[in-house]
């Protein structure tokens, strides 16, 4: 594995786990009033597009990061809609 791929995996890990505290908080509290529906809609769409791009260029760090990020952002988006 090249050093560039390793760097990409580290970057992907940090940006991906940044969504975890928000997802945990929303799941525990069911409080989403202060979250922007528009922002999470745009973010989830962007993450999905990055995931598709990752598959098209066959880039493992992009695929892994955006697969996990999509799960977190989509979950937060669904909970935002559900607990509105």
As its CATH architecture, domain 3-82 has: Up-down Bundle (1.20)
CA distances (Å), 8 to each of 59, 60, 69, in order?
Answer: 9, 9, 15
Tokens standing for residue 36: 């922007």
Which pTM does this prediction carry? 0.84
Give the pLDDT confidence score for residue 14 in this predicted structure: 92
As a whole number, mean pLDDT of residues 45-63 equals 95
Short-list 55, 48, 49, 52, CA closest to 71: 48
Residue 68: per-residue pLDDT: 93
Residue 9 predicted with pLDDT over 90:
no
Q: Identify the residue with better confidence: 46 or 4.
A: 46
Domain assignments of the chain as residue spans, ordered by start = 3-82
Burial (CB count <10 Å: 0-12, 13-18, 19+), residue 64: middle
């Amino acid at each position: 594995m090249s050093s560039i791929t390793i760097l990409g995996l580290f970057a992907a890990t940090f940006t991906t786990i940044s969504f975890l505290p928000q997802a945990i908080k929303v799941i525990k509290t069911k409080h989403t009033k202060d979250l922007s529906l528009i922002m999470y809609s745009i973010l989830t769409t962007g993450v999905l597009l990055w995931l598709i791009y990752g598959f098209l260029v066959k880039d493992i760090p992009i695929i892994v990061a955006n697969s996990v990020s999509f799960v977190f952002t989509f979950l937060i988006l669904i909970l935002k809609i559900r607990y509105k």
